[in-house]
DNA sequence: GGCATCATACTCGGATAAAGATTGTCCGAGTAATTCCGG
DNA sequence: CCGGAATTACTCGGACAATCTTTATCCGAGTATGATGCC
C-alpha cells in the first residue's frame, strides 16, 4: 500500500501556485526547479492535475499553470485522486463465492464484511484528507516564515512568474 | 495507492482458521483450495502471517497452520502490516528543503504540514482497521449462515483438518 | 514379540523467475510574440 | 510610417522506454509416520 510519490510533488506545487497573483502563471519547468525535481515528470503530474480540473493551463509563450479554484476549495484528497487514482486501495475479489463452500446467493446480496470494514477505514482516511485544504497548508507554512524567507520567496515568484493570457 | 491482493487472501484464511477446533491445523494447500486460490502463493502469504506471529505452523506430515492468538486479539491492521508492510503509504521526501527557496533550518524541526496531514489521515485508517477483529468478522459471517451452509462448512472442516503435534 | 533404527513421505520455508505498475523521458500539437513585406 | 500576414520560438499534451514492486512458482530443510532389522 504505497502512495505514488507524485502526490507529494503535486501537493507542494499547488501550495506554490496558491501564492500566485491573479492573472499570473508558472511554467512546469519553474515549478519543478523550485523543488529541484525532474522537469518532465513534474509536467506529467501537472497534466494530471489539469485533467482533474484542479489547475488550468495555457500553451505557447507566456504559458504555464495556475490554480483553477480557490485554495480553500482544493483538498488533499482531490490531489490524491488526480495523481494516484481515486480507486479504493482494497478491492474485493469476492473469493467467498469460490471454492467448495461458496457463500449462499442470499448472503452475497450484502457486501463481504471484510470488504465493508476496509471500505469504512478508507472512508475515514478520505474524509480526513478532504478536510485539509491547500489554503490551510499555506497558512500553516506561512506561520513559520521569517521576513527573510518571505522576501526570498517573493523575489523568486516575481522573477519567475509570467503573465498569462487574459481569457480562458 | 493499491493494497496488495494477498491481504484479502490472508484475512479470509484467518476467518477459516478461526473455526478450527483446538489442537487442529489446516494445510496451506487446503486453505488455498477453500477459496480456489493459487496454492504456492497462498503459502507465501501464510509464511508472512507466521513471521508476524499471527499464525503458528508445524512442518512434516500432519503439519499445517493455526491461529497463534485468539480471534478477538487479531485485527485487520495486523494482517495488513504482515502482508503489505506496516510502512506509511505517504512517505515525505523533504523536498521543501531542496531548490532555490529551501525551508529554514528552524522550520524543519517541525514536520512538513503536508506530511503531517497525510500521517493523521493514515492514522485514522489504521485505527479503524485496528478495531475490526477476526472474531467480529466471523460473528458477522456466521449470522448470515443457514443450517445447510453451516453443515457444509463443518463437513469440509472435519474432512480437511489434521491433528497437529501436541507441543510447540 | 518388543524395541530401536532407518528409510520414506509429506509439509513448511526461503530463494528464484514472470508480470504489471510506477517512474522517467521524449517528440509532436498548439499559441503568442516577432519579423518581414507591402501599402 | 503603419498594418497585416507568415514565421519563429516557446509551452503544454500525450505517446514511448526503463526500473521497481508485486505476483507467481519451484526446490530444499525439517518432521512424524511406517517399515525393517535386531535383540
Q: How would you write the pLDDT of chain A (168 residues) with one tens digit per residue?
A: 899 999 999 999 999 999 999 999 999 999 999 999 999 999 999 999 999 999 999 999 889 999 999 999 999 999 999 999 999 999 999 999 999 999 998 888 999 999 999 999 999 999 999 999 999 999 999 999 999 999 999 999 999 999 987 654
Give the pairing type, strands B64-67 and B55-58: antiparallel
Strand D contacted by B4 CB (< 7 A): yes
Would you call B113 and A89 a contact, using CB atoms and an 8 Å cutoff? no
Which residues in B lie closer than 8 A to residue A121 (C-beta atoms)? 76, 125-126, 128-129, 132
Contact partners, residue B112, CB within 8 Å, separation at least 6: B92, B94, B96
B38 touches strand C (CB under 7 A): no
For B13-72, what is each residue's pLDDT tens digit? 999 999 999 999 999 999 999 999 999 999 999 999 999 999 999 999 989 999 999 999
Rg (CA), chain B: 21
Residue B19, chain A, CB below 8 Å: the answer is no
Scanning every strand, the nucleotide with its C1' closest to A29's CA turns out to be: D11
User: What's the rounded Cα separation, in Å, for the pair B114 and A76?
Assistant: 8
DSSP three-state, residue A163: strand
Nearest to A45 by CA among A20, A72, A74, A8: A8
Ordered structural domains, chain B, with CATH: 6-163 (1.10.10.10)
* Facing B125 at nearest CB: one of A99, A124, A137: A124
In contact, B132 and B76? CB cutoff 8 Å: yes
Cell of B141: 459471517
Amino acid at each position: 500500500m504505497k502512495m505514488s510519490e507524485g502526490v507529494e510533488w503535486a501537493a507542494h506545487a499547488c501550495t506554490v501556485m496558491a501564492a500566485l497573483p491573479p492573472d499570473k502563471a508558472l511554467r512546469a519547468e519553474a515549478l519543478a526547479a523550485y523543488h529541484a525535481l525532474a522537469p518532465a515528470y513534474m509536467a506529467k503530474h501537472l497534466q494530471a492535475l489539469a485533467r482533474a480540473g484542479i489547475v488550468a493551463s495555457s500553451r505557447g509563450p507566456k504559458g504555464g499553470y495556475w490554480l483553477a479554484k480557490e485554495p480553500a476549495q482544493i483538498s488533499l484528497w482531490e490531489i490524491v485522486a488526480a495523481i494516484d487514482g481515486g480507486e479504493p486501495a482494497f478491492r474485493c475479489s469476492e473469493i467467498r463465492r469460490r471454492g467448495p463452500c461458496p457463500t449462499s446467493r442470499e448472503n452475497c446480496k450484502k457486501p463481504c464484511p471484510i470488504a465493508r470494514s476496509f471500505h469504512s477505514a478508507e472512508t475515514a482516511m478520505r474524509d480526513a484528507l478532504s478536510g485539509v485544504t491547500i489554503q490551510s497548508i499555506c497558512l500553516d507554512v506561512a506561520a513559520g516564515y521569517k521576513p527573510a524567507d518571505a522576501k526570498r520567496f517573493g523575489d523568486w515568484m516575481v522573477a519567475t512568474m509570467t503573465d498569462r493570457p487574459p481569457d480562458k
